[in-house]
Structure 1
């Protein structure tokens, strides 16, 4: 494989396919699979990822906002797309592009019914979000009668799915709470189903739910982070393969004598003669200041090089004193010898924040299956 010539995020579609097949293997064959491709497919490339997942046989997609769904439609994605957090002003655009809104409040429901009726829609697919304890979006149990009354009072909508979101499915210490969420979801969902007279898809399991609570798969599951290679569990991570590998290069090497300082605010002081390498990547690319001051590091020719000093906007400096390297050599920030989870934890954050924060000015390179 050619070496990096700039800062680049490699997107490995073979790893994506591996993760998809692994997660599907945990489910009964009749359970449908919703692939979450919000936030540029967790920091990679939503179009490339969705096209591959459509080819692999996923049943549904989920995005956060309408513009994400429109981009998929404009690039050949024909499967149903759930918009998880639609806003009022987007409703006409949702219908125009055959997207499916999450209905999470009475005001959202009334407004969407009004627009759907004006456009003479019949049985337009919507998804009803139930709040079972995460307390972000969704209807509480006392609101379900109103939900049913509004939906039964119009022919413009049809419920495609009823769903909720687990708050701590990766944390076994919260098992009792999670089982309570699943039980409440079952009760609330069936309260709606019995009144509707038909059975929409039901889903509450996220990636950790798929792995830890497979009996709660109902008729569909949603997976985001697992598709990209992260299981939120050190026992599961070995079975998944990170889709993204972030690489850069050495721009310059510099020999420094004892007593010299490196970077802004002179926060790193050289204690012995050292060799420093400058890399063309910084907090404007998503490698934030939390990784500086030797908290995290990169791999240069297979050896660990700590990040020294403060992370700059476009540059980081690493200590390569004991590493045989030269200007132009490839550097692996995460992926390969360094799992992204380890890099994120070194900075005191989580893999979600790290991978979704890689900015668009970093070149994306697709590695086919």
Structure 2
């Protein structure tokens, strides 16, 4: 891979393909695969990731918000796109761009039917979401009759899928809870499809669901974090490849005398002679202040360099006292080793938060 000359996020598309094929290998041939590309494809680049996955014949995409789906359409994505958290104000734009809404409560259902009718739609595809224990979005089990009644009053919409979301599929200590979610989902969908008179697709599994609960793959599965190289456990991580490597360079090296301070608020004061390197990356790029003051680290020539002092907006300073390095040398913030998960753990957070925080001002480079 080329050496960095500035702060860049390298995206390894072959690693993405590897992760997709690994996850697909867990499925029956008839089970569809939905790729979650919300949040700028977990911090990488939604348009480029979706185009690559579309060429690999992924069946579906999902985004959180309508504007994310519109951006994919404008980038040439033609596969179905599920919008997981649509708002009423965006329904006309959603329809105009052939996006498919998750319908998660009676208010949203009523309003979408009204707007779809006004737009003269017939059998417009919608996805009904049920809450089976996450308690975030979704109809409750006792609302099935009410949903059916609303659907029977309109020809504007047709259910493409019924789905739910697992709350703790990565935590095998919560297996009983997850199995209860799956059984609740089965009960809801059996009742629902009996009254509906036709069978939409069913899906409940996220990445950890794919890996840990094969009996719940149903008609389609959804994967986000797994595509980007994380399996939510050390066991599964060995089969996946992180697709993103965040690199930067050393801008300047300083010698810090005993008693001198480094950075804002003099948060770090040296108790001995040391050497620091200043790097052009900071909290505006996604490396939050929580990584400062010795918690987080970067890697220079294979050696750890702890972040010292407060993280600045556009810079961090690291301790390179025991590392032979020069201005202009490449620095690895995270990648395949150490991974974003390893760095995130130093700040008591998760890989999801770190990788989705990488600012869009950081240049993306795509490698095949």
The TM-score normalised by the length of structure 2 is: 0.99
Structure 1 residue 337 displacement after superposition: 2.8
Shift of 1:154: 1.1
Tell me what 2:243 maps to.
243
| SS of match in other structure, 1:167 | coil
Alignment match, 2:26: 26
Separation (CA, whole Å) in 2 of partners of 1:91 and 1:358: 29
The residue number in structure 1 matching 2:223 is 223
SS at match of 2:181: helix
Moved over 4 A (4+): none
Structure 1: runs of 5+ lacking an equivalent: none
Q: How many pairs does the alignment contain? A: 368
SS at match of 1:125: strand
Q: What is the distance in 1 between the residues matched to 2:336 and 2:121?
A: 50
Match in the other structure for 1:253: 253
Q: TM-score normalized by structure 1? A: 0.98
Offset, 1:57:
1.3
Kept in 1: contact 2:241–2:336 (CA 8 A): no
- Alignment match, 1:297: 297
Structure 2 runs not aligned, ≥5 long: none
How do residues 165-176 of structure 1 correspond to structure 2 at under 5 angstroms? 165-176=165-176
Kindly state the Cα deviation for residue 260 of structure 1 after the two structures are TM-superposed: 1.4
Q: Output the CA distance in 1 between the equivalents of 2:208 and 2:240.
A: 13
TM superposition shift of 1:196? 1.2
Task: Report what 1:332 is aligned to.
Answer: 332
More moved, 251-260 vs 123-132: 251-260
Cα shift at 1:270? 1.6
- In structure 2, the partner of 1:8 is 8
Pairing 1:275–2:279 present: no
Change (3 A) 1:102 1:29: same
CA distance in 1, matches of 2:254, 2:332: 20
Structure 2: how far apart are the matches of 1:271 and 1:305?
17
User: What is the DSSP-based 3-state SS (H/G/I as helix, E as strand, rest coil) of the residue aligned with 2:231?
Assistant: coil
Alignment-derived partner of residue 92 in structure 1: 92
2:42 alignment counterpart: 42
Moved more, 330-339 or 47-56: 330-339
Shift of residue 367 of structure 1?
A: 0.9
Residue matched to 1:152: 152
> Contact 2:249/2:331 (CA < 8 Å) preserved in 1?
yes
- Corresponding position of 2:139: 139
Indicate the residue corresponding to 1:82 in structure 2. Answer: 82
Give the match for residue 185 of structure 1. Answer: 185
Q: Give 1:132 shift.
A: 0.4
Structure 1 position 336, deviation (Å): 3.6
Alignment correspondent of 1:284? 284
User: Shift in Å at residue 348 of structure 1?
Assistant: 1.0
Shift of 1:266: 1.5
Structure 1 partner of 2:198: 198
**Deviation (angstroms), 1:257:** 1.7
Deviation (angstroms), 1:338: 0.8
